[in-house]
Chain A
């Protein structure tokens, strides 16, 4: 914490951490809008190529495992629920419960990545992976579909990994008492980021898994 952050002293002589929740929340939302446009750009590429290679896209999509996609959707939705419940717990000053919910969210995030790992691995076994000969030799539409699939789920996966890293930091702060109801915004805004990651996945599901 820097010195500027707690230079307000009230009449009782207690130190106040200067906070600007509206400003902080605005900043977080502005960041989320850039994320929206980042993924939005990829969605446009997907839409245009799907319009041009409708058959190839449908053919390629039938090779993806619907149930893995659906399982991961349920995993991410559940992690979003544990996240909001964790934020509410912290806001109600129930630190232990907040920590429990946060650890649940982290575990579910790892579960998501594990399922993704097996899914990508299965595709790799069939020669479908960026840089592999088989993927290059596929018909144009199918090749585009799989390249977009790896690009978009990969970018989404990076967001999940970043989310896990931030949540582990916050878990430790709850543990050593530096994250309390007073500065609960840290968890609340991480929650906003986590829900956006969930939101992007909700659109990825029909685009890649439910296209046959």
Chain B
């Protein structure tokens, strides 16, 4: 009895779709637009170090918003987040080592 109950619950859990409210997605979208405006304004008004610095900070922030909300990563099982972190770490390692290699050659 206990077992079948858990089984039904588990089955229901799998069928249940986690749907974010439209309002949340709209807010994420507005945040993305505002961050885009910030990056572009910084780059046009303060070309050079400040502009590039702002882009370096804001662009990964925008990427995280898309990954977490639009791509739903924040609400997936941990395994998806771990897989993503492994993939992005490999890319970062590849990128970092190549750039360091060229800088100090």
Residues of A within 8 A of B (CB): 21-22, 25-26, 29-30, 33, 36-37, 40, 43-44, 47-48, 51-52, 66, 70, 73-74, 77-78, 80-81, 83-85, 88, 91-92, 184, 191-192, 195-196, 198-199, 202-203, 205-206, 210-212
Q: Return chain A residues, CB-CB under 8 Å to B56.
A: 206
> Pick the contact of B25 from A51, A84, A211, A212 — CB < 8 Å?
A84
With A47-B99, A203-B59, A206-B39 known to touch, is A212 a contact of B47 (CB < 8 Å)? yes
Q: Return chain B residues, CB-CB under 8 Å to A40.
A: 91, 94-95
- Having A191-B70, A196-B71, one finds 12 other A-B pairs with CB under 8 Å, namely A40-B91, A43-B95, A44-B98, A47-B95, A48-B98, A51-B103, A80-B70, A84-B70, A88-B19, A88-B22, A205-B36, A206-B55
Give the shortest distance, in Å, between A195 (CB) and chain B (any CB). 5
Residues of B within 8 A of A (CB): 14, 17, 19-20, 22, 25-26, 29, 32-33, 36, 39-40, 43-44, 47, 51-52, 55-56, 59, 62-63, 66-67, 69-71, 76-77, 79-80, 83-84, 87-88, 90-91, 94-95, 98-99, 102-103
> Pick the contact of A78 from B29, B52, B80, B90 — CB < 8 Å?
B29
Say yes or no: A210 contacts B87, CB within 8 Å: no
Q: Return chain B residues, CB-CB under 8 Å to A91.
A: 17, 19
Mind listing 29 A-B residue pairs with CB under 8 Å? Answer: A21-B14, A22-B77, A26-B80, A29-B84, A30-B83, A36-B87, A36-B91, A37-B87, A44-B94, A44-B95, A51-B102, A51-B103, A74-B36, A84-B20, A88-B25, A184-B17, A191-B70, A192-B71, A195-B70, A198-B66, A199-B67, A202-B63, A203-B63, A205-B59, A206-B39, A206-B52, A206-B56, A210-B40, A210-B43
